[in-house]
Amino acid sequence: MYGRMNIKRTTFKMSASMKQLSNIINRKIFSSLKIDTVRGFSVTSTTQKPKSQRSRNLGGKKNTRGKSYGIKKNDGCFVHKGEIIVNQCGLRFYPGENVEADRTNRLVALADGTVMVTCEKLDPYPESPLYGPVQNGLTIHKKFFHIIPVPLKAKFKLVSET
C-alpha cells in the first residue's frame, strides 16, 4: 500500500538564525510528507500514486466503435450542400465537380444536386507520389464522385415598370 520509514530525531543546540533556516528547509523538504509520532519516534510516510485497476485480458485495447467508413450516398441520390458522400481513410475515392475532400479525406457536397460516380483516368499533381509512375506510362483508374447541380427554375417573371 504505502511505504513507511522509521526516522529517529536527534536534537542539538542551534542558534536562532540556524533554527529559522532549519525550519524553512524542513518546510520545503517535508511539505509533501505525512509525519506521525508513535512512541517517541516519528514515522514518515510518502503518498504514492495508486495503481490503475485495469483488466489484463484486453491487451491494451479498449472497446471502441467502428469508424463507419464507406459510401454514404450512391449514384443517383439527391444530396444537399454539406452532406457527406463518402467517409474514407486515405484517398480511395476522389472528389469531382462540386465535391471537396476535407482534412480527414471525407467527400462533402458543395452544392445541392444529384450524385454521379465515374471511373476516370487519374491525372495527379506533381507533388503526389503517383506523379512519377503516371509520367512513366502507368495508367491508374479511380472512382470520382461528382454532384450535378439542380437547374434553377425561374420563380418570378420580369415585368416592366412602365
Report pLDDT digits (tens) over 81-137.
Answer: 999 999 999 999 999 999 999 999 999 999 999 999 999 999 999 999 999 999 999
Report pLDDT digits (tens) over 15-57.
Answer: 666 777 677 766 655 555 555 555 555 555 566 666 666 555 5
pLDDT at residue 66 in the model: 84
Backbone angles phi, psi at 117, to 5 degrees: -110, 130
Contact assessment for residue 6 and residue 41, using Cβ atoms and an 8 Å cutoff: yes
- Strand duo 70-71 + 94-95: pairing: unpaired
pLDDT at 67 over 90: no
Give the DSSP letter of residue 49. P
- What residue has cell string 503518498? 47
Q: Which of 104, 101, 96, 105 is nearest to 149 (CA)?
A: 96
pLDDT at residue 139 in the model: 94
Cα dihedral 84, 86, 92, 93, rounded to 10, equals -80
Cell triple for 148: 450535378
Q: Residue 47 corresponds to which amino acid? A: T
Contact assessment for residue 130 and residue 92, using Cβ atoms and an 8 Å cutoff: no
pLDDT at 70 over 90: yes
Is the backbone of residue 39 left (phi > 0), alpha (psi -120 to 50) or beta? left
Query: Other C-beta atoms within 10 Å of 113: how many?
Result: 20
Instruction: Quote the CA–CA distance of 85 and 83 in Å, as a whole number.
Output: 6
Query: Other C-beta atoms within 10 Å of 105: how many?
Result: 16
pTM tops 0.85: no
Considering only 64-68, 86-90, 157-161, which range has the smallest mean pLDDT?
157-161
